Every structure is written in C-alpha cells, then in structure tokens.
C-alpha cells in the first residue's frame, strides 16, 4: 500500500526553497513572508491558460452547489473584480499545481506546524484601469474565520505574472499581526470585505493602530512570477486598483495549520459564525462541520513519520 509519506517528499532543490530560521522569525515579527520562486514559469503559464479556459466556462469538475456567501463570478457579471472560490476543485490544472508539497511545506514551516491542509481558495481577476470596486479594503482574514480555533492559519497570495504596485498587488500592514483588537471590538468586520465600505475599513485600520500605539506602515508586496507571499490570519492587508495596463490575476490559498479545528462562535447579532465551506463539507458525529474532511480540505503537507498507511 502506498504510504502517505511518499506523497510528501521534497526534492533537494525544493528543500533549498524552504524558509530558514531567520525567515520564520521575520514572519512572526512582521506578519508576512515572501518566498523564493516556488512555481516555474511553465507552471504559471499553465495556470494562466487554465484560468482563460475557466473564464470561458470550462470546468473539469463542478461543485455540487455554489454555497451561499461564496464569491463566484460568472460570464456576464460585472467585470471589475472577478472572484471565484473553489478553483482547485473545479480545475485539474489548478488542483495539481497549487497542491504541490512545497507550497504546503513553506506554510507549515511558517506556522510551526507539522501539517497544512487547504481551507479554501479564491481565483481573482482585477481589471486594469478600473477604480470602482477594485480596492480590497484593509482587513484581517481572522475576522471571517471566527469559527476556527487557530490564530496560525495563513494565506498564500499567488500572482500569475510579475505583480508590482502598479498591478494593485497585495499590501501588508507591517507588524499588525501583533496588534490586539482594541478599537473595533464588534463583529461588523466579519462581513466580507466586498460588502464593506473601503473608507470605513481605512478608518478602522488607523483606529486600531492608534489603540495599539503603533504606526501604519504599508508594505506593497512586489513579486516576480513564481514567488508567493504568505501572510498570517491576524495581519492587516488590502490592495489598490490596477493601473498596469494588464489584468491582475492571482489566487489566494487559505491554509489551516495542524491544530486548527472548528469552534462554535456567536457573533454579536446572536448568529453562529459560519463559513460557506460548511455547506459542502462532511460533518462530525456531533453535527459540527468537519474541517479535517480531506476531500474538501486536502492535505498540502505533512511531516514525515506522522502517520501510517492510507
């Protein structure tokens, strides 16, 4: 029988791509880390081609329902910012390339975890020279993920081309992963950023910084094709319109660390915090969503010797 271990081997070259101790310390201190080139030009080109096909309607598999609350662009929808959750389920090419062990291994190393599991993904297409609806307001991903126990979940931002400030690349708020929530202790931030007012989010960012006695230092993340930026779920980030002349195309992979689990969390309005993935994944015996359902949340990486046969 094939051992799961065999699926999680890195080549010598890939081992050299892992973050070192200093990189992990940088990540802990600043809340983000930019990798070496983890994807080849050929892999990125395959992803671009697959996304062109996807936007024309080609799907290798279809999710059974588009869950309520999931962003899911369809041809004919407004074209300023296309956002499609579940691309690694619907496209074989995305699935194959983005579940390469090296991506999960880097995530695990940063989170100091023996394992990483995919949580959910979003393919994005930010039209060029369109300002309306293309700013992604300041937020921390944890606000949307209150149904989880772990603060160590993280996101891999993977552009499908060189991605610089002019493309409206992702921007990190340096060190904000260490802030505690002082100024905005309510749950309105749990609304998806697409449903929030950008200037309100800007005000909240500055209020939060002031309450923490910190300055807002915005760090645009310039990435060469194949590089990936990882940010912690507690790090404030956002992005601005794309002025480059080409669409900004990217995928965000949201990743669970090993210890992450479901918890019942009540929002201020009395509702239980719920994520749209819960409409698809299996349930535990007690009826709670199974965030270890390896069908919906595949393993991206597991340290050797952690498990036996599959």
Ligand X SMILES: O=C(O)CCC(=O)C(=O)O
- 202 neighbors 236 (Cβ within 8 angstroms): no
- The residues, any chain, with a CB within 8 Å of residue 232's CB and separated by 6 or more, are 27, 31, 32, 110, 151, 152, 153, 154, 177
**Residue 227 interacts with, from Fe ion, ligand X, none (CB under 5-8 Å by kind):** none
Residue nearest to Fe ion (CB): 141
Q: Does 95 bind ligand X (CB under 6 A)?
A: no
Q: Does 250 bind ligand X (CB under 6 A)?
A: yes
Q: Which is nearer to ligand X, 250 or 256 (CB)?
A: 250
CB of 249 to Fe ion, least distance (A): 17
Here's the x/- map for ligand X, 156-185, by CB under 6 A: it reads as -x------------x---------------
Strand boundaries in 99-217, DSSP class E: 115-126, 136-139, 154-159, 170-173
Candidates 176, 239, 242, 260: give the one binding ligand X (CB under 6 A).
239
Six token digits for residue 262: 């479901």
Binders of ligand X among residues 102 to 131 (CB under 6 A) are 124
What single-letter DSSP state applies at residue 196? S
HSE on the CB side for 223, CA within 13 Å?
30
Alpha helices in the chain (DSSP H): 4-7, 12-15, 21-30, 41-55, 87-90, 92-98, 101-111, 198-211
CB of 237 to Fe ion, least distance (A): 6
**Number of CB atoms found within 10 A of residue 192's CB:** 14
Candidates 84, 150, 252, 277: give the one binding ligand X (CB under 6 A).
252
Candidates 90, 141, 174, 257: give the one binding ligand X (CB under 6 A).
141
- Give the whole-angstrom CA distance, residue 193 versus residue 216: 19
**Residue 232 interacts with, from ligand X, Fe ion, none (CB under 5-8 Å by kind):** none
Here's the x/- map for Fe ion, 116-155, by CB under 5 A: it reads as -------------------------x--------------
Q: Which is nearer to ligand X, 143 or 258 (CB)?
A: 143
Q: Measuring CA to CA, which residue among 217, 100, 141, 232 is closest to residue 178?
A: 232
Q: Does 257 bind Fe ion (CB under 5 A)?
A: no
CB of 284 to ligand X, least distance (A): 27
CB of 20 to Fe ion, least distance (A): 26
- Give the whole-angstrom CA distance, residue 19 versus residue 29: 14
Candidates 113, 116, 150, 155: give the one binding ligand X (CB under 6 A).
155
CB of 56 to ligand X, least distance (A): 22
CB of 170 to ligand X, least distance (A): 4
Region for residue 42 given its phi and psi (left: phi exceeds 0; alpha: psi -120 to 50; beta: otherwise): alpha
**Residue 278 interacts with, from Fe ion, ligand X, none (CB under 5-8 Å by kind):** none
Most distant CA atoms of the chain, gap in Å: 57
Six token digits for residue 287: 């009826």
CB of 15 to ligand X, least distance (A): 26
Q: SS3 for 298?
A: coil
CB of 148 to Fe ion, least distance (A): 14
Enumerate binding residues for ligand X (CB under 6 A). Answer: 124, 136, 141, 155, 157, 170, 237, 239, 250, 252
């Amino acid at each position: 029988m094939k051992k799961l271990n065999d699926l999680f081997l890195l080549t010598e070259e890939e081992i050299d791509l892992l973050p070192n101790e200093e990189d992990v310390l940088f990540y802990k201190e600043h809340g983000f880390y930019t990798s070496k080139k983890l994807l080849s030009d050929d892999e990125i080109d395959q992803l671009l081609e697959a996304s062109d096909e996807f936007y024309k309607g080609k799907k290798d598999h279809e999710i059974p329902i588009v869950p309520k609350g999931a962003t899911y662009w369809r041809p004919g929808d407004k074209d300023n910012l296309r956002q499609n959750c579940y691309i690694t389920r619907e496209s074989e090419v995305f699935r194959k390339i983005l579940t390469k062990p090296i991506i999960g291994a880097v995530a695990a190393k940063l989170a100091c975890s023996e394992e990483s599991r995919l949580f959910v993904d979003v393919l994005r297409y930010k039209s060029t020279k369109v300002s309306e609806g293309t700013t992604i307001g300041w937020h921390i991903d944890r606000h949307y993920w209150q149904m989880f126990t772990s603060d160590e979940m993280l996101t891999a931002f993977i552009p499908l081309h060189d991605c610089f400030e002019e493309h409206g690349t992702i921007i990190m708020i340096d060190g904000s992963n260490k802030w505690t929530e002082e100024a905005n202790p309510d749950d309105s931030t749990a609304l998806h950023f697409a449903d929030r007012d950008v200037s309100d989010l800007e005000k909240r960012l500055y209020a939060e910084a002031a309450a923490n006695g910190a300055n807002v230092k915005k760090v645009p993340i310039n990435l060469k094709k194949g590089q990936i930026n990882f940010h912690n779920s507690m790090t404030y980030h956002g992005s601005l319109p794309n002025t480059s002349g080409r669409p900004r195309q990217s995928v965000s992979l949201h990743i669970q660390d090993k210890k992450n689990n479901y918890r019942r969390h009540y929002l201020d309005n009395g509702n239980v915090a719920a994520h749209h993935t819960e409409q698809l994944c299996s349930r535990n015996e007690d009826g709670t969503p199974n965030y270890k359902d390896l069908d919906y949340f595949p393993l991206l990486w597991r340290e050797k010797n952690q498990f036996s046969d599959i």
